A = this chain, B = another copy of it.
Amino acid sequence: MLTADTRAVIKSTNTSDRGRASIKDVAALAGCGIATVSRVLNGSGPTSVATHDRVLAAAASLDFQLSDIGRSLRTQRTRTIGCVVPSIANPVFAQALQGLQRAARAAGHQLIVSGSNYTLDQELEAVTTLLGKQVDGLVLTVSDPETSQALDLVRERGLPHALMFNHAPSLAPCASVDNASAARLVADAFVDQGHRLLGFLALRFGSSDRSRQRFEGFGARLQEHGLEAPVLLEVDDEPAHLADHLPSLLDEHRYLTGIFASNDMLALAAMQAARTLSLRVPYDLSIVGFDGIAIGQMVEPTLATVQTDPEAMGTAAAETVLAALRNEQVSSSCDQTRFHFRPGGSLSRCRDDQTDSGEVAASPLPSPTHPREPSLKKD
């Protein structure tokens, strides 16, 4: 009969040779079978305290860790959730990822993140790769749920999934805001301030359902106010080129008194572009964004925007797929996150305002003639 010590000598095949220790090494060192090691380390099944301790000691001395890929192959679960968003660099998605991460981690899952750079092929490629990696679930923000091959693929596979930011309850569970309704609030805000000539600024309008929904809500509400549809200002270049193109775009539309930007990053970029043109925000041009990212409140003037809760969307999306992984029934297929219009210094009364009915003229309204500069230069 072999003592534990003797066996310990006999093994020595795997551990030191190459890479990390395997469960066999631990079993050999502890003088037991691999099944026991598995049971101890997983806390499954009964074990005597004696062996329990021996296994733990052995594992510690080898600083052994069960291999996830071995387990995954066996259990067909990876404890991993895939996530693809248009851009990690956009704070709005970064915040959502934060929420996702927290929820996933709390449930013992890791996140594999992929960025699609707002393109359809990278979107599909990312999902394909993720499927190959056998993620247990998927959280996506796609360019357009109605036509997304990526989403189709996931649905075919029957993998637990949820959309973030996208709103398409009939296609997939989603965590989003009601973009159209939110955009209507923006229209109201502009109209309240006497604006009539408005533009809608979007990045790659054609490939973002969110942009379109916001545009439509905005336009529809404007028409209800008896105004014309907003002018669509589209930038479909690389986000990096924004600084180049935005100023000329704004310059071509100087007659506009207000611009609703499809998201806060764009709105901020527009504010910067306006400065380039010596247009003063909000006096010469009012700007409203969408999302409510933190930096919007740090700039001067502060950015008027639709305040949403990206982190909550991430959390909600995560909960949806986590619930599905636990085989729970998902109650609502659609998590509508709260939102509200958040006033800010970037939106003020229109200088061309002609309305005499002072009913809504409660906000501080600068006289038609303005001082040459609001702050930086002295006169």
- Interface stretch, picked from A9-17, A47-55, A298-306, is A298-306
Chain A contributes a number of interface residues (CB within 8 A of B) equal to 59
CA A295 – CA B375 in complex, angstroms?
A: 19
Q: A110-B129, A275-B300, A301-B375 are in contact. Are A101 and B76 (CB under 8 A)?
A: no
The residues in A between 99 and 143 inclusive whose CB is less than 8 angstroms from any CB of B are 101, 105, 110-115, 128-134
Is B73 touching A70 in the complex (CB atoms < 8 A)?
A: yes
Give the oligomeric copy count.
2
| A71 smallest CB distance to B (angstroms) | 9
With a cutoff of 8 Å between Cβ atoms, the chain B residues found around residue A275 in the complex are 300
Q: Does A65 contact B (CB under 8 A)?
A: yes
Q: Does A376 contact B (CB under 8 A)?
A: yes
Name which residue of chain B comes closest to A112, CB basis. Answer: B112
The residues in A between 266 and 320 inclusive whose CB is less than 8 angstroms from any CB of B are 268-269, 271-272, 275, 295, 297-301
Name which residue of chain B comes closest to A268, CB basis. Answer: B298
CA A87 – CA B91 in complex, angstroms?
A: 12
Q: Does A378 contact B (CB under 8 A)?
A: yes
CA A300 – CA B111 in complex, angstroms?
A: 37
| A157 smallest CB distance to B (angstroms) | 7
Is B111 touching A113 in the complex (CB atoms < 8 A)?
A: yes
Is B113 touching A113 in the complex (CB atoms < 8 A)?
A: yes
With a cutoff of 8 Å between Cβ atoms, the chain B residues found around residue A130 in the complex are 110
Is B375 touching A300 in the complex (CB atoms < 8 A)?
A: yes
Is B68 touching A134 in the complex (CB atoms < 8 A)?
A: yes
Is A128 touching B300 in the complex (CB atoms < 8 A)?
A: no
* Interface residues as binary, A87-98 with B (CB distance below 8 Å gives 1, 0 otherwise): 111010011011
Name which residue of chain B comes closest to A243, CB basis. Answer: B297
Name which residue of chain B comes closest to A280, CB basis. Answer: B375
| A156 smallest CB distance to B (angstroms) | 8
A378: contacting residue among B70, B76, B88, B364, CB under 8 A: B364
With a cutoff of 8 Å between Cβ atoms, the chain B residues found around residue A232 in the complex are none
Q: Does A69 contact B (CB under 8 A)?
A: yes
Is A98 touching B115 in the complex (CB atoms < 8 A)?
A: yes
CA A66 – CA B19 in complex, angstroms?
A: 25
The residues in A between 1 and 51 inclusive whose CB is less than 8 angstroms from any CB of B are 19-20
A68: contacting residue among B91, B101, B133, CB under 8 A: B133
CA A97 – CA B101 in complex, angstroms?
A: 15
CA A94 – CA B92 in complex, angstroms?
A: 11
CA A329 – CA B57 in complex, angstroms?
A: 37
| A64 smallest CB distance to B (angstroms) | 11
Q: Does A211 contact B (CB under 8 A)?
A: no
Q: Does A72 contact B (CB under 8 A)?
A: yes
Is A89 touching B78 in the complex (CB atoms < 8 A)?
A: no
Q: Does A377 contact B (CB under 8 A)?
A: yes
CA A9 – CA B282 in complex, angstroms?
A: 72
A91: contacting residue among B91, B114, B131, B366, CB under 8 A: B91
Of A130, A132, A367, which is in contact with the most chain B CB atoms at under 10 Å from its CB? A132
Of A20, A114, A300, which is in contact with the most chain B CB atoms at under 10 Å from its CB? A300
CA A275 – CA B376 in complex, angstroms?
A: 15
The residues in A between 356 and 371 inclusive whose CB is less than 8 angstroms from any CB of B are 364, 366-367
Question: A-B pairs with the 6 shortest C-beta distances?
Answer: A374-B375, A299-B299, A268-B298, A272-B298, A375-B375, A69-B72
20 contacts between A and B (CB under 8 A): A19-B76, A66-B132, A67-B132, A68-B132, A69-B72, A69-B73, A69-B134, A88-B98, A89-B95, A91-B94, A94-B94, A97-B113, A101-B114, A112-B113, A269-B298, A272-B298, A299-B299, A301-B376, A374-B375, A375-B375
